[in-house]
Amino acid sequence: MRVRSLNRYKNDKGFIFPLAIAYSLLTFVMLISSVSIYVSEKQYTSLMKDYYNCNSMLLLALKHIIDMVDDGKEVNHGVVQFSAGEVSYNIQKQQDNNIIISVQMKNSRNETLKSEMLYNLKNKQIMEWKE
């Protein structure tokens, strides 16, 4: 019986060529979709790397600023330089031993991230954080 079913296709002219075309198209579509997925994952990885670099710079600069304030240095504004960007800050004194630290981070792609913190000098802790 198997011989009979193969003989049926043997007599049809042009059976292999359309099958090869369909197989080639299917392979091409799968290849293109795989490349598209790979490229989007690489873009996502790059964006996440930049995001975490920005947050790291922001936290390191904030630690530097808080250390200066806790040491009693009178600082109103300044810039902290990093290899991947810079963080500029502005300090405003408030009532009840509180200060407001406004921070603006700028990375190498010129993307900015702004944050504002309310810091209590007496308790030495951040009371509020706004982004």
In a domain, 74, yes or no: yes
The model's pTM is 0.70
Contact residues for 1 (Cβ-Cβ < 8 A; gap 6+): none
In a domain, 82, yes or no: yes
Give residue 19's pLDDT.
Answer: 87
In a domain, 80, yes or no: yes
**Alpha-carbon span 64 to 80, nearest angstrom:** 9
In a domain, 5, yes or no: no
In a domain, 11, yes or no: no
**Alpha-carbon span 98 to 77, nearest angstrom:** 16
- What SS3 class is residue 27? helix
Give residue 17's pLDDT.
Answer: 84
Task: For residue 19, count CB atoms less than 10 angstroms from its CB and return exposed for 0-12, middle for 13-18, buried for 19 or more.
Answer: exposed
Q: What is the pLDDT along the chain (131 residues), one digit of tens a residue?
A: 455 555 555 556 677 888 889 999 999 999 999 999 999 999 999 999 988 988 899 999 999 998 988 888 888 889 999 988 899 999 998 888 889 999 999 888 888 889 999 998 888 888 888 88
**Alpha-carbon span 66 to 41, nearest angstrom:** 37
Range of the domain at 25: 16-130
In a domain, 8, yes or no: no
Please tell me the total count of domains within the chain: 1
